Amino acid sequence: MIHFDCDYMEGAHPEVMQRLMETNLEQTSGYGNDAHTDRARRLILEACGLTPEQGRVHFLVGGTQTNATVIDGLLRRHEGVLAAETAHINVHESGAIEASGHKVLTLPSHNGKLLAAEVEAYIRAFYRDDTYEHMVAPGAVYISHPTELGTLYTLSELQDLSRVCREAGIPLYVDGARLGYGLVAEGAGVTLKDLARCADVFYVGGTKVGALFGEAVVVTRPELLPHFFPLIKQHGALLAKGRLLGVQFETLFSDGLYERLARHAVEQAQRIKQAFREKGYEVVIDSPTNQQFFRLPNEVVDRLLREVTFEYWGPRGERESVVRFVTSWATREADVTRLISLL
């Protein structure tokens, strides 16, 4: 079998594993108070165009823990977070946001994205209601880049969302679980420095981009999360052996490794998309990243499943289904070639 289910089926890139082995017997302080984690913070801040005075970097263990912890920290007790209907926090995190006492306030999804105009309209309508004190207030805006559907925000879309949030006095938080794939995609117009200018908090995903586990939260307005360390611990997202995260991100952000790994995945995904198109199958969402969605006859789905694993996204009528193929930093070119031969 060959596998295109998701982008976290393998362990970590060999260079990451090598550095973990090389540093394995070092004795360091815990909870990220070590030289490797300090250097990882500096490398990430430099990539974002930030100084240590302008930003903070925190390392957490996984994406759901990161989203739940950051959003809980940004919101007051009576507030919720605005997000697209398709947002990961709304559909695939087992109610983690709600478990912390907050509500996900959904808006229409436009191929996975929020529109700044609709966010602005929602906030204005909320405060025009004389009974708004009786309702959950919009206290933050959540977006993913890339989105859950593999699409990307343009720089102007991101700037518009940033403007709306700042005019309303609420933070913009960007989920970067697959950020690497978005940074290197063809036509990508958003850089790490752009994110640092537009977002109040965002994270650089490691779990899906070459690390064993871990995400790096970048806070560009540290006053928004003044006591973030104890909150990370309360949410079970803090490692005592914090240097395990530091070493991984230190390696990923050295010699352009993070971008190289992401670029490989995107290139293989585009090979898959081109092959499906040439066979006449419909591309449901024209994603420039490592996630690809196709509409296939059910007999084709059944035939492929004999030798390939991928994700089923639901029926389209009685005879067709939408499916998702995902590549990763570790996807083998030979496996993509094999998939193409089976179409």
| Residue in this structure with the two tokens 């991101």, named with its chain if needed | 158
Q: What is the pTM of this model?
A: 0.97
pLDDT, residue 141, reads 98
Q: Give residue 89's pLDDT band: very low, low, confident or very high (50, 70, 90).
A: very high
Q: What is the pLDDT of residues 1-47, one digit of tens each?
A: 999 999 999 999 999 999 999 999 999 999 999 999 999 999 999 99
The span from the CA of 132 to the CA of 128, in Å, is 8
Q: What is the pLDDT at residue 172?
A: 98
Residue 131 confidence (pLDDT): 97
Q: Is residue 113 within 8 Å of 151, Cβ to Cβ?
A: yes
Task: Give the pair of three-digit tokens for residue 197.
Answer: 């200018």
% of the chain at pLDDT higher than 90: 99
What is the edge-to-edge ordering of all strands in the sheet holding 56-60?
A: 56-60, 215-219, 201-205, 172-175, 137-144, 79-84, 104-107
pLDDT tens for 175-215 read 999 999 999 999 999 999 999 999 999 999 999 999 999 99
Strands (E), the chain: 2-3, 56-60, 79-84, 104-107, 137-144, 172-175, 201-205, 215-219, 282-285, 291-297, 308-309, 311-316, 320-326
> How confident is the model at residue 302, as a pLDDT?
96
What does the pLDDT look like over 236-245, one tens digit per residue?
999 999 999 9
Q: Domains of the chain, with CATH numbers? A: 2-7+257-342 (3.90.1150.10), 14-252 (3.40.640.10)
Q: Say what the pLDDT of residue 14 is.
A: 98
Distance in angstroms (rounded) separating the CA atoms of residues 165 and 199: 9
pLDDT recorded at residue 262: 98
pLDDT, tens only, 97-139: 999 999 999 999 999 999 999 999 999 999 999 999 999 999 9
pLDDT of residue 197: 98
